[in-house]
Chain A
């Protein structure tokens, strides 16, 4: 323990032990946190899709839709997680898109789209959950203009933020992505695609 650490703890102990009537840790029911209006009457996936769209995200349900979107937007070349080759990558290749299964960081500007796995979604907020066990390359989810997070059929659709936090387990890094990268730094005007993706897609297989 460094001197700084030891003297800091000594100072903190002295301060807090002298406090009369310390505030207890409140117990609370999570319903106080629930934005129930964001959970519609339909399925949790439908709520997710509505909230994700409200944050400028694009929910999709078929690889064919994805191929059309990429082609129409001129996003013709990109990266795909090798584990998604069969279900996504090869379908896009058949549709005429150029797909690489290795992310070459020297050529980061050449990838117009990046396709990686999602580990779940959150209905209440329209959030895609990524984790670093499953994200094949962090850069592939950041540098391309279009990021596609692919949700497998068995991946969880969490109802609330609190549910999603409970599901962390021992996952090393969990990233919640709620729409494309954005800023309003210049005169409060909203611009999408600052550093990361300007298009954030969630494809549910």
Chain B
């Protein structure tokens, strides 16, 4: 038995990184519980309600998406569709090139991470600067985000200060306030010189076509203040039926993500600048991204499309806390990623089929999910699918020898008592290599094989 890839990655993680990821995830988890319990009479009822609204929307997505597209177009938004990452990249590059855009500011968006937009634009001579502080640091480091909401949860201030120094953003200074101020000054000129702003989108109301975008830093608002073009890349599952439903999701999103009642900047965007508006981009384009979502909708794991990207399941997950987000080898890590990433991978499902196994099925992710996604159930369904498709993951244990043992009472008895010898052997002397490896990280309880049979015998006699 080889260790799972996530285990292997976790082993390579610096102790310091693991501790800080784990501690900060734990703090957010606690604060989240507090704020929900303090504010709402029935937080679980609220989560179930949100889950039901999303499930309803997904199960009627053809209608709601059509409605949303009509509303967006009525608002003066140019709507595009992209079937996959390649089409989305091509579309966005085309829109920017046609308008002579050279400089883009971008606010945090997981959808753009999914299609690896920055590299593509850079390869075609378009400078696309991340403006969210965490994403900016990820970008200058040539790294990838390791958490949905906290992209640099895996970095400490010293590492950040070193990369700022290396990128000409001042002498080494690891004070978080200094780091933030330096980024403020640097990014300010990027906004002002930009020709276009690219954002994601948290929700689209099918009723009004309003695109809802939330940030704490104000960078999404800033990304659509000084330039002429606003382009939003949004997954097709981000629709909610009505404006009133937005209150349900906004109340849950910030509390679940960062234990805030509401994000600082919450924008409801209803199209490009109108003649009555003094400022703002004259053109607004929304690119609706499928990239595997419609395929996920057709599976028995469609509930995962309810996800509103709060990161609460990552914060609470014992595996995520030990392994950090990069261990999942995909844009989405943690429990949500263990379900979503193999599904979105399409034909490459087998490459990520080990992810659903990297879970203790403790159920904590389901308890914190603001849209009540039954993540443990979905993990089991994906394990079953991997089995059905005959995917051999590194963690597959050959069960045949065990079956032989377990079906012969005599063999079983002998094995049980003989294994007591293990109690007297040093771990390094164990004859089975995978077991030795496994025991490097764990301690076995004392082997008491055969005790149960003895007890049964005695019981029958008395």
Contacts and interface: CB of A to CB of B under 8 A. Distances in A.
Query: Which of B134, B216, B250, B274 is packed against the most chain A CB atoms within 10 Å?
Result: B216
Interface residues of A, number: 74
Given A12-B65, A25-B53, A178-B266, A168 B243 contact: yes
A105 B226 contact: yes
B264 A182 contact: yes
Interface string B125-160: 000000111100100000000000011100011001
Interface string B39-63: 1111001100100110110011110
A191 to B, nearest CB: 4
A37 interface: yes
A161 B250 contact: yes
A181 B181 CA distance: 12
Contacts of B246: 165
A125 B192 CA distance: 31
A178 B133 contact: no
Interface residues of B, number: 93
Contact of B66 (A9, A34, A191): A9
A173 B279 contact: no
A130 to B, nearest CB: 9
Interface in A161-205: 161-162, 165-166, 168, 170-189, 191, 193-197
Query: Which of B188, B210, B265 is packed against the most chain A CB atoms within 10 Å?
Result: B265
A137 B279 contact: yes
A12 B262 contact: no
Given A35-B40, A183-B217, A8 B294 contact: yes
B360 interface: no
B278 A135 contact: yes
Contact of B265 (A11, A51, A181): A181
A87 interface: no
Contacts of A189: 176
Interface in B252-288: 258, 260-271, 273-274, 276-280
Contacts, number: 236
Contacts of A177: 264-265
A195 B290 contact: no
A70 B280 CA distance: 28
B379 interface: no
A88 B126 CA distance: 43
Interface in B50-88: 52-53, 55-56, 59-62, 65-66, 80-83, 87
Contacts of A195: 131, 184, 187-188, 191, 217-219, 222
Given A181-B264, A183-B217, A137 B180 contact: no
B333 interface: no
Given A16-B62, A165-B244, A175 B267 contact: yes
B180 A186 contact: yes
Nearest to B91: A4
A197 to B, nearest CB: 8
Interface stretch (A71-79, A90-98, A138-146): A138-146
Contacts of B404: none
Given A172-B270, A187-B156, A4 B87 contact: yes
Given A26-B49, A185-B151, A139 B208 contact: no
B216 A35 contact: no
B297 interface: yes
Contact of A194 (B65, B180, B241, B298): B180
Nearest to A13: B62
A139 B240 CA distance: 30
B254 to A, nearest CB: 9
6 contacts: A4-B81, A23-B55, A161-B262, A172-B273, A173-B280, A195-B219
10 A-B pairs closest in CB distance: A196-B218, A185-B134, A35-B39, A138-B225, A194-B217, A181-B218, A186-B176, A12-B62, A176-B266, A22-B59
Interface of A: 2, 4-5, 7-9, 11-13, 15-16, 19, 22-26, 28, 30, 32-38, 51, 55, 105, 108-109, 125, 127, 132-133, 135-139, 142-143, 160-162, 165-166, 168, 170-189, 191, 193-197
Given A132-B274, A135-B278, A186-B133, 17 more contacts: A4-B82, A4-B87, A7-B83, A9-B66, A15-B297, A30-B247, A38-B261, A132-B273, A138-B279, A162-B244, A168-B210, A173-B269, A174-B267, A175-B267, A181-B265, A183-B216, A196-B217
